[in-house]
Amino acid sequence: MSYVLEGLTGAWELVIGLEVHAQVISQAKLFSGAPASYGGEPNAHVSLVDAAFPGMLPVINKECVAQAVRTGLGLNARVNLESRFDRKNYFYADLPAGYQISQFTRPLIGAGTLEIELADGSLRQIGITRLHLEQDAGKSMHDQSPTKSLIDLNRAGVGLMEIVSEPDMRSPEEAGAYLRKLRTILRYLGTCDGNMEEGSMRADVNVSVRRAGEPLRTRCEIKNVNSVRFVMQAIEIEARRQIEVWERDGVVDQETRLFDPGRGETRSLRSKEDAHDYRYFPDPDLLPLVLDEGWLAALKAQLPELPDAKRDRFITQYGIARNDAGVLVADRAVADYFEVVAVGAEPRLAANWVTGDLFAALNRTGRSIDDSPVTAPALRDLLRLVGDQTINGRIAKDVFEEMVQTGEPAEALIERKGLRQITDPAALSAAIDDVIARHPDKLAEFRSGKEKLFGFFVGQVMKATQGRGNPALVNEALGRRLRL
């Protein structure tokens, strides 16, 4: 079922295209040797190139190019063996050179695709238009002094990948799924940390609306949205605004807007008429970027297994449900954790425990998977003890909770607390006899046809064994005994 918004005059379809800026993970900046790391004292990570001192020349950082190529390969995109850097000219205090080095007409990476999965399980292919490398700008700080604006050039010159999608998305949900999937892929590749809160991944959101079957209408671009939730909110709010304009017989102007989450509205920043003319031209300080085919092949050969491939492998290798596999591969650390558990214990049980009890425990304790209070080998050992019938599933939950609190290994804990499962038929029938002796009334009711009392007896026997009875054996023995 497709997503539409109802206006006063009928249904409207949404059209969404995203431009994502992703900061390249590298030691140094794109064209200088200054550190690309986050934070630091203002202007501590600035070389003469970043500060655009006269006569300074840019030198391309090969690792940044490799990172962009890996990303292109991860997006099933064409890698252009020859690309070019252009100057994008504008004046701003945090841009000392007066231009940003970017790629305009000939980007490093061409068309690709990204597959998203929606809540109803359906799959969609979203087209990637291009990916190019460019420099980040510095930061102006207007709130540090009552009389001055200050400039921090630590970010100036840091490598960014701009990843542009086709206008292929049709709902806030699709845009959210696209961003999350892109972030997962970048993190798998190790090419961007994907931290939207820190600004190392940010999105410009292009939105238009139309009647079903129409050609594209005018879009607006919402700049620099910094969380998946805000992107989804901004899309719906902006689409509703445009619908209102069209329905009032107005015209949507192509403009750049800002999203204000506090007020739940988008506001105009600048219209197309005052859009910048950047006077792009090839940067004369840089030669065209020509890739060596052998180098490209080596990068390709070293790519890690990506989320889609890992999901498909989990399904076939471990026999787990597609949905569980999708959840497990969304975070590489979770996928790795799961595999350690699944190799040593029953995989479907492992998937249930990781996505259920483990996730709940991480949530509760505010810990991340890398810092999990129960390590993967520890959970594997616990599930082995369920698999070999040392403990039953109910007791395993309690043992796990205790492991979360204390970090004690499952086996030691089970021995110390005497939690081994009772499978001895004599011990179980003694417990059963005892329960029956204490409930003659219930026995009579059961025998006169009140079958659902069976559950009551099971519960009583489990209680009598402090939850340690083997559930299958208890059921079986009880069934035989009650139906005598």
Residue 21 or 219: the one with the smaller Cβ distance to ligand ADP is 219
Which of 102, 206, 460, 470 binds ligand ADP (CB under 6 A)? It is: 206
CB of 173 to ligand ADP, least distance (A): 16
Q: Which stretch binds ligand ADP (CB under 6 A): 109-117, 162-170, 362-370, 408-416?
A: 162-170
**322: helix, strand or coil:** helix
Nearer to ligand ADP by C-beta: 46 or 114? 114
Pairing of strands 255-260, 220-225: parallel
Residue 445 CB neighbours (<10 A): 15
Query: What is the distance between the terminal CA atoms of the chain, rounded to a whole angstrom?
Result: 56
Closest CA to 165 of 134, 129, 133, 124: 129
Choosing from 7, 96, 110, 167, the residue that interacts with ligand ADP (CB under 6 A) is 167
Please pick, from the candidates 12, 13, 17, 403, the single residue that binds ligand ADP as defined by CB under 6 A. Answer: 17
Neighbour count for residue 121 (Cβ, 10 Å) = 9
- Distance CA(46)–CA(62), nearest Å, equals 19
Region class of 223: left (phi > 0), else alpha (psi between -120 and 50), else beta? beta
Stretch of 117-125, 163-171, 189-197, 442-450 contacting ligand ADP, by CB under 6 A: 163-171
Place of tokens 């009389």: 147
Burial of 191 (0-12, 13-18, 19+ CB in 10 A): buried
Cβ atoms 207, 213 nearer than 8 A: no
Q: Which is nearer to ligand ADP, 56 or 269 (CB)?
A: 269
Q: For ligand ADP, which residue of 65, 101, 164, 361 counts as binding (CB under 6 A)? A: 164
Q: How many residues does the chain have?
A: 484
Q: What DSSP state is assigned to residue 48?
A: T
Identify the sign of the CA torsion 42, 47, 50, 53: positive
Question: Does residue 166 touch ligand ADP according to CB under 6 A?
Answer: yes
Binding-site size, ligand ADP (CB under 6 A):
14
Stretch that binds ligand ADP, among 15-23, 26-34, 118-126, 301-309 (CB under 6 A): 15-23
- As measured in angstroms, the least distance from the Cβ of 274 to ligand ADP is 14
219 contacts ligand ADP (rule: CB under 6 A)? yes
| Candidate list 19, 193, 236, 331; residue touching ligand ADP; CB under 6 A | 19
Q: Smaller CB distance to ligand ADP: residue 17 or 194?
A: 17
Shortest separation between residue 68's beta carbon and ligand ADP, angstroms: 18
Residues that bind ligand ADP (CB under 6 A): 15-19, 164-167, 206-208, 216, 219
